[in-house]
Structure 1
């Protein structure tokens, strides 16, 4: 049994992830900001923890991370102002990494995006720039922490049914169902070969995808 804390616990991916972890005997703590969402995450099988990580310091986050075996960061500002995007997707994410170090929780899985690179190519006057810039900064911070980290870079998210297959380093938008992203997170948590890796993926086309376990194996 593993104890995993999921930030952004009421997000669509997190709500799909939780039952997968619970089904294999894991305990899940879902961090949510809105107490009205507690019943949803609890219905998925998690223990709800109401906390506003956007306004918590490293010590406070370390306190709620402590006692878990792994951290999954699936939180985000969800668009809106660049200021809040940086506050959540970069700053709060980085504090959660530092908190994991402080709490001695070595395993950390970041849900990033396919294009998270230094040369992501998003112009500064594009409304998407703040997200691209914030995610890259968060990913780079994670790489420097010494945590047993995995950075997952899914392509454009869809509501399609799961295929249980992915293609690594897809061309173009790399569309992928949220259900398959959840399955990749779950598999990554127990696949040692993913530690220290940045894994960019989509669902693939024309038979190019392979089963998730095979795609993540050494």
Structure 2
């Protein structure tokens, strides 16, 4: 049994992840931004906590994270202004990483996306630039820490079924179901071979546990 804290606890992937974790006996804290989301989270077996990641200080985040065994960042601004995207996807994300270190919680799993890279090539005139830049810089910050980090890079998300099989050896982005992403996160949390790695993946033919073990 592990105590897992999920930032972005009402997201589509998080709502699929939470019942996987609680079913195996983990205690899950789901951080949400709106009290209207409480019942949806409770239905998964997770414990909802209303908390404003955008406004919270590093100290407040550390207090929230303390006592857990791992942090999953699955939060995001969800589009909108470039300023808010920066505030959530980079500033709040990196603050949570530093707060995890302050709290002595070393395991940290970042849910990023397949194309996340400082060499993303998205022009500043493109509306996607703010997100691409924020995610790339947040991922780089995580890699620079002494946390036991994993960066997960799923490709284009679909509503397909949970096949339990992925392709984590590809260099080309395709698509992956959110249900499989949830399973990848759950397995990454218990697979030591994922620590210190960036894992980009599509739906595929290899069982998730085997794909994550293979370097």
Q: Does 1:166 align with 2:162?
A: no
Q: Aligned partners of 2:166, 2:93: CA distance in 1, in Å?
A: 26
Q: Aligned partners of 2:203, 2:171: CA distance in 1, in Å?
A: 11
Residues 7 and 30, structure 2, Cα contact 8 Å, conserved in 1? yes
Match of 1:123 in 2: 123
Q: Matched residue of 2:54: which SS?
A: helix
1:2-41 aligned within 5 A: 2-41=2-41
Q: Does 1:42 align with 2:46?
A: no
Match of 1:145 in 2: 145
Match of 1:56 in 2: 56
Match of 2:208 in 1: 212
- CA shift for structure 1 position 147: 0.1
Comparing 63-72 with 116-125, greater Cα deviation is found at 116-125
Q: Aligned partners of 2:30, 2:92: CA distance in 1, in Å?
A: 16
- CA shift for structure 1 position 120: 1.1
Residues 150 and 197, structure 1, Cα contact 8 Å, conserved in 2? yes
Residues 173 and 201, structure 2, Cα contact 8 Å, conserved in 1? no
Match of 1:112 in 2: 112
Q: Aligned partners of 1:147, 1:56: CA distance in 2, in Å?
A: 21
The alignment's TM-score, normalised by the length of structure 1, stands at: 0.96
Q: Aligned partners of 1:173, 1:9: CA distance in 2, in Å?
A: 26
Match of 2:66 in 1: 66
Match of 1:80 in 2: 80
Match of 2:92 in 1: 92
Root-mean-square deviation (CA), in Å? 0.9
- CA shift for structure 1 position 7: 0.2
Q: Matched residue of 1:56: which SS?
A: coil
The alignment's TM-score, normalised by the length of structure 2, stands at: 0.97
Q: Aligned partners of 1:85, 1:211: CA distance in 2, in Å?
A: 34
Residues 6 and 30, structure 2, Cα contact 8 Å, conserved in 1? yes
Q: Aligned partners of 1:94, 1:169: CA distance in 2, in Å?
A: 28
Residues 169 and 202, structure 1, Cα contact 8 Å, conserved in 2? no
Structure 1 residues not aligned, in runs of 5+ = none
- CA shift for structure 1 position 118: 1.6
Residues 61 and 96, structure 2, Cα contact 8 Å, conserved in 1? yes
- CA shift for structure 1 position 115: 0.4
